[in-house]
Structure 1
Amino acid sequence: MVCKTGTGDKIITTPKILVSACLLGCPVRYDAQSKPVNHPVLQRWHANGWLVPFCPEQAGGLPTPRPAAELQQDGRVMTGEGKDVTAPFLKGAEQALALCQQQKIKYALLKESSPSCGSTNIYDGHFRGKKIAGEGMTSHLLRAHGIRIFSEQQIDELFASLD
Structure 2
Amino acid sequence: MSACLLGKRVRYDGGSLSVDDQIVERWRSEGRIVSVCPEVEAGMTIPRTPAEILGGSGGNVLDGDAAVVDKSGKVVTDEFIAGASVALELCQTFNIDIAILAESSPSCGSSVIYDGGFSGTKIPGMGVTAALLRQHGVQVFSQHEIALAYEAMQR
Same fold (TM > 0.5) = yes
Letter in 1 for 2:10: V
TM-score (norm 1): 0.87
1:1-163 equivalences in 2 (<5 Å) = 19-73=1-55, 74-163=65-154
Deviations 1:72-116 (A, max 9, x none): 114211011101111111100011111111111100000000000
In structure 1, stretches of 5+ residues that fail to align are 1-18
Q: Choose between structure 1 and 2 for higher RCO, CA contacts under 8 A separated by at least 6 residues.
A: 2
Q: Percent identity?
A: 47
Query: Partners in 2 of 1:50 and 1:26 — Cα distance?
Result: 17
Q: Which runs of 4+ in 1 moved over 4 A?
A: none
Looking at structure 2, the residues matched to 143 and 41 of structure 1 have their Cα atoms a distance apart, in angstroms, of 22
Shift of 1:29: 0.2
CA contact (8 A) 2:101 2:141 kept: yes
Provide the aligned C-alpha RMSD in A: 0.7
Q: What's the offset of the Cα at 1:47?
A: 2.1
Q: What is the count of residue pairs matched by the alignment?
A: 145
Name stretches of at least 5 consecutive residues in structure 2 with no aligned partner: 56-64
SS of the equivalent of 1:52 reads: coil
The structure in which a higher percent of residues are strand is 1
Larger helix fraction of residues: 2
